[in-house]
């Protein structure tokens, strides 16, 4: 089956409304962190307060998202995502209202943290739905699921390009709080639509007593969390280094656009990953993409102009999505079927924490060594992904095989029988 045929079949199985809903529903998360930072900074006049609000939102979301994933595994995605979407959307509106009322910075930071606790991780939860969606498709099912994960990786990257662009446009033509208002509306509409979509019923693979079965923190999943922590560190350090060079060059506004180029290459590579032959195993793909990351980050140590940085970041993006898509695909296979929601959100949380770590380390080095100091963290993170892929290859080959799964649906509820 060609990649084009696989994508057409996937979208036909899920329906265009689901595809659009799942894509737009994840945009608010991509907009919320930067939106909170810009709004709080402009309202209080303090970049420190803006950074603290954004960081509080991000850390709170990273800590709470695995809890949300576990609850979705236990009770189903519908009630969990519905509550998250409503409370998270209202929380974003509360931040705007507090900022408009000139609330003190500590109140804005607290509101951002509470909001972060409830923002749903729709991207990881959408990945969980594809295996039951493709039930009954025969021997090509695993190829369809792999293609679906390629699409999801590309969709995640696209939202993190589109989200900041929408923020910048709204702030330019409206007001600092306009971006968060749009994010709130999108979450209340499309987050709730994602929760209520019929596919949400297919993911409830818990036992009748509601207790998920099987071990979550398997050795393979722990390795993959480490892998996502490292790629998050790469993201954070690239953004820091890009910002430092842009400011030094007198083009502060270019930082967001240049960082977005990382996502452009990643989207293209992610969609193309469906063309990789099935005989190329997932650990091998992880090793190849980690090697590409290690090589393609090296030019960042040599860049001295925005033009050179644009070229380096654009090319680097082509290695990002294959690495992340492979990790998430192995994560789905590394845990029992009843724990997949928690596993996906744990991987997303590890990425967010890595982003914070990478940003902090890169910022410290940039204070004394400029953008090259920040990019040292990028290169080190990429080298660590290669070392991890080499060291963990045997473990991943043993514990993340192509699963032998069967699904049967009755009255909209999925019964999932997995051989572990």
Does pLDDT of 267 surpass 60? yes
Does pLDDT of 212 surpass 80? no
pLDDT at 186: 96
Does pLDDT of 289 surpass 90? yes
User: What average pLDDT is seen over the chain?
Assistant: 83
Does pLDDT of 419 surpass 70? no
Q: Are residues 202 and 170 in the same domain?
A: yes
Residue 322: inside a domain: yes
Which structure tokens are listed for 381?
A: 């993170």
Q: Are residues 227 and 198 in the same domain?
A: no
Q: Are residues 229 and 190 in the same domain?
A: no
Residue 27: inside a domain: yes
Average pLDDT over residues 379-404: 83
- For residue 271, name the pLDDT band (cuts at 50, 70, 90): confident
CA 322 to chain centre: 13
∠ CA 227-228-231, rounded to 5°:
90
Q: Are residues 266 and 315 in the same domain?
A: yes
Q: Which of 224, 386, 388, 392 is nearest to 297 (CA)?
A: 386
pLDDT at 111: 95
Q: Are residues 184 and 139 in the same domain?
A: yes
Q: Are residues 148 and 232 in the same domain?
A: no
Distance (Å) of CA 414 to CA 68, 288, 410: 20, 36, 7
Q: Are residues 178 and 223 in the same domain?
A: no
User: 416 pairs with which residues across the strands?
Assistant: 407
Top mean-pLDDT range of 94-98, 364-368, 398-402: 94-98
Contact status, residue 294 vs residue 382, Cβ threshold 8 Å: yes
Q: Which CATH number characterizes residue 237's domain?
A: 1.20.1250.20
**Domain total in the chain:** 2
pLDDT at 279: 77
Does pLDDT of 220 surpass 80? yes
| Residues in the chain, overall count | 420
Residue 375: inside a domain: yes
85-94, 156-165, 315-324, 368-377: the lowest-pLDDT one: 156-165
- For residue 253, name the pLDDT band (cuts at 50, 70, 90): low
Give the percent of the chain with pLDDT over 70: 90
Task: Among 212, 237, 263, identify where a domain stops.
Answer: 212
Residue 412: inside a domain: no
Tens-place pLDDT, residues 44-68: 877 677 778 877 888 899 889 889 8
Task: Among 212, 244, 269, identify where a domain stops.
Answer: 212
DSSP, residue by residue, 146-179 = HHHHHHHHHHHHHHHHHHHHHHHHHHHHS-TTHH
Residue 406: inside a domain: no
Q: Are residues 193 and 252 in the same domain?
A: no
Average pLDDT over residues 324-337: 84
Task: Among 194, 212, 230, identify where a domain stops.
Answer: 212
Residue 137: inside a domain: yes
Residue 415: inside a domain: no
Looking at 26-140, list the stretches that DSSP marks H as alpha helix, in order from N- to C-terminal side. 27-44, 47-75, 77-100, 105-118, 122-133
Spell 269-295 as b/e; 16+ CB within 10 A means b.
bbbebbebeeeebbbbbbbbbbbbbbe
Q: Are residues 282 and 379 in the same domain?
A: yes
Q: Are residues 74 and 205 in the same domain?
A: yes
Q: Are residues 138 and 90 in the same domain?
A: yes
Q: What is the pTM of this model?
A: 0.75
Tens-place pLDDT, residues 114-154: 999 999 999 889 988 888 888 877 767 777 888 888 888 88
Name the residue range of residue 348's domain: 216-400
Q: Are residues 186 and 223 in the same domain?
A: no
Residue 10: inside a domain: yes
Does pLDDT of 363 surpass 90? no
């Amino acid at each position: 089956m060609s990649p084009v045929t696989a994508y057409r079949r996937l979208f036909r199985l899920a329906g265009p409304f689901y595809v659009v809903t799942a894509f737009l529903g994840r945009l608010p998360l991509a907009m919320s962190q930067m939106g909170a930072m810009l709004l709080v900074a402009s309202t209080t006049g303090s970049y420190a307060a803006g950074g603290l609000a954004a960081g509080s939102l991000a850390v709170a979301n990273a800590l709470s998202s695995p809890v949300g994933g576990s609850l979705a595994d236990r009770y189903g995605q519908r009630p969990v995502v519905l509550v998250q979407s409503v409370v998270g959307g209202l929380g974003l509106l509360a931040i705007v209202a507090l900022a408009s009322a000139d609330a003190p910075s500590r109140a804005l930071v607290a509101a951002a943290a509470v909001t972060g606790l409830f923002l749903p991780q729709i991207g990881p939860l959408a990945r969980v739905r594809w295996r039951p969606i493709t039930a009954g498709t025969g021997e090509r099912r695993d190829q369809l699921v792999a293609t679906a994960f390629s699409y999801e990786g590309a969709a995640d990257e696209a939202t993190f390009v589109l989200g900041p662009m929408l923020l910048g446009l709204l702030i330019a033509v409206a007001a600092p709080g306009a971006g968060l208002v749009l994010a709130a509306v999108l979450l209340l509409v499309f987050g709730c639509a994602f929760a209520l979509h019929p596919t949400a019923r297919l993911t409830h693979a818990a036992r009748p007593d509601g207790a998920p079965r099987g071990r979550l923190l398997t050795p393979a999943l722990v390795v993959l969390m480490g892998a996502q922590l490292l790629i998050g560190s790469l993201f954070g350090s690239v953004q820091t280094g890009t910002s430092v060079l842009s400011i030094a060059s007198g083009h502060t506004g270019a930082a967001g656009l240049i960082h977005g180029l990382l996502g452009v290459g990643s989207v293209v590579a992610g969609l193309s990953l469906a063309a990789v032959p099935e005989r190329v195993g997932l650990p091998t793909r992880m090793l190849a993409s980690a090697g590409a990351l290690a090589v393609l980050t090296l030019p960042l140590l040599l860049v001295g102009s925005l033009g050179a940085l644009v070229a380096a970041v654009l090319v680097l993006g082509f290695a990002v999505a294959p690495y992340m898509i492979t990790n998430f695909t192995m994560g789905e296979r590394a845990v029992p079927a009843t724990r997949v929601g928690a596993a996906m959100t744990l991987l997303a949380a590890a990425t967010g924490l890595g982003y914070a770590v990478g940003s902090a380390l890169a910022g410290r080095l940039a204070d004394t060594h400029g953008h090259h100091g920040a990019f040292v963290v990028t290169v080190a993170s990429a080298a660590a992904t290669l070392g991890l892929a080499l060291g963990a290859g045997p473990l991943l080959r043993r514990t993340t095989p192509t699963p032998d799964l069967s699904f049967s649906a009755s009255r909209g509820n999925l019964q999932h029988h997995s051989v572990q």
